Amino acid sequence: MRVSLQNVSHDYEVTETSAAVHVLDDVSLEIAAGDFAVLMGASGSGKSTLLNLIGAVDRPTAGRLLLGDIETSSLREKDLTRLRRESIGFIFQFFNLIPTLDVFENAAFPLSLAGVGRKEIETRVGVALTDVGLEHRTRHFPNELSGGEMQRVAIARAIIHRPRLILADEPTGNLDSKSGEAVLELIRNVHRTQRPTIVMATHSDRAASFGDYIVRVADGHVSR
Ligand SMILES: Nc1ncnc2c1ncn2[C@@H]1O[C@H](COP(=O)(O)OP(=O)(O)O)[C@@H](O)[C@H]1O
Ligand SMILES: [Mg+2]
């Protein structure tokens, strides 16, 4: 799925305790369908903000944002929710698994939301957990897993509905280098076999080397 930002600006509004924050200033960026793009920039430069805008979790203050041919910046909330559920997979630094659900149910979550039948869920989750090397951990809970294992469950969850866009926000930021490497290899494997568009934010040169190209984020601007 193509990602297109056209003159996008983003401000966080003034609150009682904070001044307005101008994060993105007139950003235009094209990521072609099937690209694996890497966002790099200092902490606070706006990488997560960019991912939230691309993932239609937040709306830009100004400008147009398109996923494929759909202008998400003007969609209604209901349609945004559906688009997120059907077309986007998210991977986070702190995994964001649901602690009260076991590995199977965490990975199945997007399919359960979509109302997919139990038989098909079982088949697809089985395949996804095998792909990430966790088929023997199906009935364990997140607090029984290592960080690397939790992130592999999160990857299974992110790909289970075969999204056309995967957004990863510092997916190795909380992992040791060996687990991080395994996670990066899985992400690269998903890219090679399923050809989703991937946008990944990272601080790590090693992680960045897994992508097709780097988009630098600094001072409210991006450059390729
Ligand atoms: N919800 C928010 N409200 C106000 N300011 C925010 C919010 N989220 C992020 N910011 C600010 O926006 C800037 C960019 O943050 P972020 O996108 O998280 O950067 P990065 O992911 O590159 O570290 C920072 O100055 C941060 O403090
Ligand atoms: Mg961030």
CA of 139 to the centre of ligand 2 (A): 31
Neighbours of ion ligand 2 (CB under 5 A): 47-48
Q: What is the pTM of this model?
A: 0.95
**Does the beta carbon of 73 sit less than 6 angstroms from any atom of ligand 1?**
no
pLDDT in tens, 157-216: 999 999 999 999 999 999 999 999 999 999 999 999 999 999 999 999 999 999 999 999
Architecture of 3-11+22-223 per CATH?
Answer: 3-Layer(aba) Sandwich (3.40)
Q: Is the pLDDT of residue 74 over 90?
A: no
pLDDT in tens, 11-56: 998 788 877 889 999 999 999 999 999 999 999 999 999 999 999 9
Task: Report domain extents, the chain.
Answer: 3-11+22-223
**Does the beta carbon of 202 sit less than 6 angstroms from any atom of ligand 1?**
no
DSSP calls for the chain: --EEEEEEEEEEPP-SS---EEEEEEEEEEE-TT-EEEEE--TTSSHHHHHHHHTTSS--SEEEEEETTEEGGG--HHHHHHHHHHHEEEE-TT----TTS-HHHHHHHHHHHTT--HHHHHHHHHHHHHHTT-GGGTT--GGGS-HHHHHHHHHHHHHTT--SEEEEESTTTTS-HHHHHHHHHHHHHHHHHH--EEEEE-S-HHHHTTSSEEEEEETTEEE-
The percent of residues above 90 in pLDDT, for the chain, comes to: 93
